Structure 1
Amino acid sequence: MKDLGSSRAGRPARHTPPPAPGLRRAAPALAAFVAVRLLGLVALAVWSARAGSSPHTLLSARWDSLWYARIAAEGYGYEVVLPSGAVHSNLAFFPLLPWLERLVAAPTGLSYGSAGLVVSAVAALAAAWGIFAVTDLRYGRRAGVCAAAAWAALPVGIVQSMAYSEALFTALAAWALYAVLRERWVLAGLLAAGAGLTRPVGAAVVAAVWVGAVLALRKDGDGGGRGRRDRRPVAGMLLAPLGAAAYVLWVGAHTGRGPLGYLDVQAGWGNGFDGGLAFARFVGDKLASPTSLAAGIGLVAGVLLVLWLYALGVRQRQPVVLLVYCGIVVALALCASGYFGSKPRLLLPAFPLVLPPAVALARWRTGRAAAALGAVALIGAVYGAFWLNGSGPP
C-alpha cells in the first residue's frame, strides 16, 4: 500500500508494520517540544509581569476556556443572548475536553480551568509524540524531532498550553493517522471517534480513516484472497464517525431540531461554511484601508504560505491519508464564515504542514538546524506572549 504504510519515500510498504516508537526513541523530540513550550511560557510570564496580567488567567480562564470550564461544572444548557438577538449556546462546544476536566478536577481539587491546563499539557505532549511517530515512520527520526519542535514553535503554539481543545484534538488525530499508516484499523477508528467528540473538525480524521480503509480493502481485493479478506478496515470505518455522530444527534434531540440542531447552534455563533467568501471580503477590507494595509498583506502572505506548504506536501508525496486530513482541516479553517481572528488557531491541528520544512531541516547539520528552530521558537514565544496579552484567540 504505497501511500499508507511506506516507511520512506520510494520504498514499498512493509507487510508487518514496525512497532510504535517507544519513549527512548521519541525522547529527543519530546525534549525539544518541552523546551520550546517552556520558552513560550517564560516569555508569557515576563510579558505578563510587565503588563500586570496573570499568565494563569490568560491560559485557563479567558475566551473558550471559560465555556469549557462552565460545561465541566454545570453541564450543557447555558447560553448568552447578545443585543443583536444572536444566541451563543454552549452546545457549540464538544464534550470530551470538559469531561476530562471534570475527571482531573474530582480527585485533585483543582478548578476546572486549572484541570484543563493539566489535560492540555498531557495532550500536547501526546500530540508531539504522535507527530514524531508519523514523521519518523515516513521520513526518519531526525525529521520527526524537527517536526515536533516546529509544531511547538508555531506563532500560535501558545494555544497548546491553554485550556483549549486544540492540543487534545491534535493528539487524537496524530495517533489516529499513525494507526491508519500502520493498518491498526480498530485503534484508528476509536481514536477518530474520540477526535469527533473533541472538535467539529473531527470530520477530517474520519475522512482520513475512511480513505485509508478503502485503499486497504482495494489492495486486499486485488490480492485475490477470496474468503480471507480482512474486515478490520470496515470495523475502523464504522467506529470512526461514532463520536461526532453521537454528539450531533444528541444536540439535535436536545434542541428539537433533529440533525440540523447543531448547525443552528453554530449559526447562532455566526459560524458557517461559505467557501471562503466572507474571509475574502474581510481580507479585501483590510487591504483597502490604509490603516490596516499591513494586516491585510500579512493575511494574504499567511494564506499563501499555508497553501504553499500544502503543495509541498503533495510534491513530497506525503501519504494520502495525511493529505486528506490536512486538506480538510485547512479548508474548514479558511472557508468558515465567522471568527476570522480564530483562523490561525484553527490551523494548529494541520500538523502535516510542518513536515516539508522538518524534512528539509533534518538534512542540515544538527547545530544549524537547532539554531534555525531556536530562532523560530523565540519569535513564536514573543508573539504568543504579545497575542495572549492582547486580542488573544477568540
Structure 2
Amino acid sequence: MPKVKSVSTSSVPRPEPAAPSRPAGRFDLPRIARRGIPEGAVPALALFACVRLAGILAVILTNALRGHPLVRTFAHSWDSRWYLHIAAQGYGHKMWISPQGAVQTDWAFFPLYPALIRALNTVLPLTPGQAALLIAWLAAGVAAYGVYVIGHLLHGRGVATALVGLWAVMPHAVELTIAYTESLFAALAIWSLYCALRSRWLWAGALAALAGLARPSGFAVAGAVVAAALYEAWRARGRVPWRLWAGAVLAPLGFLGYVLWVGARVGDLFGGYFKVQSAWDSRFDFGVGAARFVRALLLHGGGVVYTVALLVVAAALLLFALLCLERPPLVLAVFAGVLILLVLGGSGSFSSKPRFLLPAFPLLIPMARALARTWRVRPVQAVLVYGALTLVSLFFGAYVTAVAHSPL
C-alpha cells in the first residue's frame, strides 16, 4: 500500500505521489480533490454561512424587540465609528477625551480596513457602513474557507468540517459579521498560515504584511511565519530557496511600517505609536492589569459579558495546552500562542479579549477532532452538542451586540 509523506512541525510539503511511503501519521496529507478544491468544502461553508446568518437575524430580532434600528448595530458599534470616520476623513481628524483625561486619537486604528472601505465606497453605490459590512462578510467567508483548507490539509474532511462549524459558533463569532477588523484580519492571517504550511513563502510573507496593516495582532502572524521559516532553514541546514528569506523579511513590514509612520506623526519615531495606544489603556503590562481585573471580578462579581470573557480566556489556555500535546505544525502553534500571550499580557477592556482570540482557530483543532470522532460513533450526540453550542453563540452574540453596553 502506498504510504503518505509525514508532515514536519513547521510546514506541510506538497504531496509527492511517487515518494516512498511510511505509516500514516497524525498530520498526514489527505487527498485533495481535483482543481485544488478540498472535498466537502461547500457543505462546510454552507454550515458556516447558515450559522452566521442566524446570528445576524438574532441581532436584528433583538434590536426589533428593544425598539432599536434593526441593522445599525452592525455598522455603527464602538470601534466601527472610528473606522468609518477614518474612511471618510482620513487620519488626524478625530479624537476623544477619556474619563481619565487621556487624549485618544484615531492613530490607534490600523489603516487597511478603512482604506478598503473608502475604495469600495468610491467605486460602488454603497454607504460607508454598507461597504464596511460587505468587506467584513466577504472576508469572513474567505477566512472560513481557509480554516477548512487547513483542517482538510492536516486531518481530512470530517475534522475540517467540524473545525469550520466550531469556529462559526465561538461565543463572540457575531463580531465576524459587524464592521470590525476581525474578519479581514482572520482572512489574511489564515491564508498566510496556509501558505507557510505549503512552503509558499512569498505569499505567506505578503499576506502577513497585509495582516499587520489590519490589526496590531498582525505581529502574531509575522512571528509565526518568521519562526516557521527559521525552523525550516535550520532543518535544511540553510539550503533553502531565496523565497523563504524574502517571505520572512516581508512578514513584519506591515506592522512595523504603520508603527513607524504613527511615530513619525507623533514626533517620537520608535515610541509614538505606543504612547497613542497607552492613551487607550492598551499596552503590554505582562498581565498586571488583567490579573487585577480577574481578582476584582472573582471577589465582587460582574456582568455576564465579563464572566463569559473570563471563561473564554481560561478555555483558550486549556485548548492551547491540548493543541501542543498534539504537536501541531510550528506555524499554527506560534500563531495561537502569541495571540494568547497578547491577550493575557495586554491591558485594556477585558470584555474585548475574546474578540482578539477569534482568529486563533488552531485552538479549536482538539475539539474538532473530538467532535468528528463523536459524529462517526454517536451522530445524534454530536448534533445535540453542536446544537447547544450554536444556541449559546446566537443568544450571547445578540446580547453582547444589541443589549450589553460593554466594549466589544
If the length of structure 1 is used for normalisation, what is the TM-score? 0.92
What amino acid does structure 2 have at the position aligned with 1:285? A
- 1:114 pairs, out of 108, 117, 130, with 130
Partner of 2:345 in structure 1?
Answer: 335
Report the alpha carbon displacement of residue 256 of structure 1 after superposing the two structures with TM. Answer: 1.0
Matches within 5 A, 1:1-394: 2-3=8-9, 4-5=11-12, 10=25, 21-22=36-37, 25-77=40-92, 78-221=94-237, 229-289=240-300, 291-292=301-302, 300-365=310-375, 367-368=379-380, 369-389=382-402, 390-394=404-408
- Contact 1:287–1:296 under 8 Å retained in 2: no
What is the identity, as a one-letter code, of the residue corresponding to 2:405?
A: S
User: Do 1:287 and 1:293's aligned partners in 2 also have CA atoms closer than 8 Å?
Assistant: no
Give CA-to-partner distance per residue, 1:347-384, whole Å, 9 cap, x none. Answer: 11111111111111111236433442232112101111
Aligned-residue offset at 1:47: 1.4
CA-CA distance at 1:270 after TM superposition: 1.0
Residues 103, 200 of structure 1: alpha-carbon distance in 2 compared, 3 angstrom cutoff: same
Specify whether residues 263 and 180 from structure 1 end up closer, same or farther in structure 2 by C-alpha distance, changes over 3 A only. same
Q: Deviations over 1:127-168 (max 9, x none)?
A: 101111111111111111111111111111110000000011
Residue type matched to 1:325 in 2? F
Work out the CA distance in 2 between the residues paired with 1:65 and 1:147.
Answer: 28
CA drift at 1:220: 2.2
Counterpart CA distance in 2 for 1:55 and 1:254 is 39
More helix by share: 1
Distance in 2, matches of 1:126 and 1:295, equals 28
The alignment-based identity, stated in percent, is 40
Give TM-score scaled by structure 2 length.
0.89
Farther-moved stretch of structure 1 (176-185 vs 72-81): 72-81
The one-character-per-residue Cα deviations of 1:255-275 (angstroms, maximum 9, x if unpaired) are 111111110100111111111
- Provide the secondary structure at the position in 2 that maps to 1:88: strand
2 CA distance for matches of 1:31 and 1:143?
16
What is the identity, as a one-letter code, of the residue corresponding to 2:358? L
Secondary structure of 1:197 counterpart: helix
Deviation for aligned residue 1:126: 0.5
2: CA distance between counterparts of 1:92 and 1:19?
A: 44
Query: In structure 2, do the counterparts of structure 1 residues 156 and 294 end up closer, same or farther at CA, with 3 Å as the change threshold?
Result: closer
Distance 1:242 1:231 in 2: 18
Instruction: Report the more deviating stretch, 212-221 or 148-157.
Output: 212-221
What is the identity, as a one-letter code, of the residue corresponding to 1:2?
A: S
Q: How far apart in 2 are the matches of 1:163 and 1:12?
A: 36
Check whether the contact 2:83–2:114 (CA below 8 A) recurs between aligned residues. Answer: yes
- Tell me how far apart the structure 2 counterparts of residues 302 and 25 of structure 1 sit (CA, whole Å): 29
Of 291-300 and 272-281, the range deviating more from structure 2:
291-300
Give the Cα separation in 2 of the matches to 1:294 and 1:386: 10
Unaligned runs of at least 5 residues, structure 1: none
Higher relative contact order (CA 8 A, sep 6+): 1
Instruction: Give the C-alpha shift of residue 298 in structure 1.
Output: 5.2
Task: Note the C-alpha offset of 1:235.
Answer: 0.8
Q: Report the CA distance shift for 1:295/1:246 in structure 2 as closer, same or farther (over 3 A).
A: closer
Contact preservation (8 Å) 1:76, 1:90: yes
State the alpha-carbon separation in 2 of the partners of residues 315 and 12 from structure 1. Answer: 13
Asked whether the 8 Å contact 2:309–2:353 carries over to 1, the reply is no
User: C-alpha separation between the residues in 2 aligned to 1:298 and 1:12?
Assistant: 32
Structure 1 stretches (4+) deviating beyond 4 angstroms? 6-9, 11-14, 17-21, 293-300
Secondary structure of 1:53's aligned partner = coil
Q: Deviations over 1:89-141 (max 9, x none)?
A: 10000001001111111122222122110000000001101111111111111
Contact between 1:284 and 1:296, CA under 8 Å: does it hold in 2?
A: no
2:27, 2:62 → 1: CA distance?
A: 50
Change (3 A) 1:285 1:243: same
